[in-house]
Amino acid sequence: MGVASSLPRPGARSAPAKKPFPFPRIQATIVRYAGVIRHPQTIFWSDKKRVMEQYVDAVVEFVRANEAWAAPIAFLLALGESLAFISLILPSTVILVAIGGLLGASGIDVWAVVFAAGLGGSIGYATSYWIGLYFKDQINGMWPFRNYPAMMHHGEDFFERYGVFGVFLGHFFGPIRAVIPVIAGMYSMPQIPFQIANVTSAFLWAGGVIAPSFFGIKWLLGH
């Protein structure tokens, strides 16, 4: 009876085999990178640096093999770079510079990628602002903000000193970018001046990061 019961019934379909991930190197890097984020205290800095380098290499390799994905990847990288605190662990700027160089070598139009990065940066910054606007003073007791009290304090001082100009500058400086839009929301900065500073600086930042490597490689290659 045990043998008969273990046999498949006539007409029964076996479970389909799982398809392998098409980019195993990227899959391995994602799994390892997730371990760094979840358990940072168990991994030495040299190991973190190596994982970061593997992550950058994997993304750049993907874009090199799939240039049509350059704009969507640039959008996602800029979005993550501009979300509260995500910019501290996501090396988006380095990858965007590399993508600019790849585009310069291939001759693909760079401005669609710059636009995508500017749009992603604007949305990420605006999302951080809305988080601060919704939670207000509760932010300081929430993860991950409660783990960085000094950064939050310096961000508040920076915002009180520079106001809307500080929001504009925030896109260009990593540590400030991580907290300034959230603090602007906490302080109930009016929506219109915030978004003007946000969108303007996001597109300037995107162009400043991607375009130089694009035109530099084109000039070197004589395109």
DSSP 17-46: PPPPPS-HHHHHHHHHHHHHHH-GGGS-HH
Q: Assign 14 to helix, strand or coil.
A: coil
| Cα(135)–Cα(196) distance, integer angstroms | 22
Nearest alpha-carbon partner for 129 in 37, 192, 55, 74 = 192
pLDDT, residue 42, reads: 43
pLDDT, residue 161, reads: 93
Dihedral angle at the C-alpha atoms of 117, 121, 91, 188, nearest 10 degrees?
180
How many Cβ atoms are within 10 Å of 6's Cβ, its own excluded?
7
> Averaged in consecutive runs of 10 residues, what is the pLDDT profile of the chain (223 residues)?
46 46 44 42 50 77 85 93 82 87 83 95 95 91 88 91 93 85 95 96 95 86 69
The structure tokens listed for 112 are 């669609």
Write 148-153 long-range contacts (CB < 8 A, 24+).
148/85, 148/179, 151/175, 151/178, 151/179, 152/179, 152/183
Nearest alpha-carbon partner for 118 in 213, 173, 197, 200 = 200
DSSP element (H, E) containing 187? none
pLDDT, residue 64, reads: 81
pLDDT, residue 51, reads: 66
Nearest alpha-carbon partner for 67 in 105, 27, 122 = 105
C-beta separation of 73 from 60 below 8 A: no
C-beta separation of 60 from 29 below 8 A: no
C-beta separation of 210 from 93 below 8 A: no
Distances (CA, A) of 138 to 117, 145, 178: 31, 10, 17
Q: What are phi and psi of 163, to 5 degrees?
A: 60, -130
The structure tokens listed for 182 are 């959230």
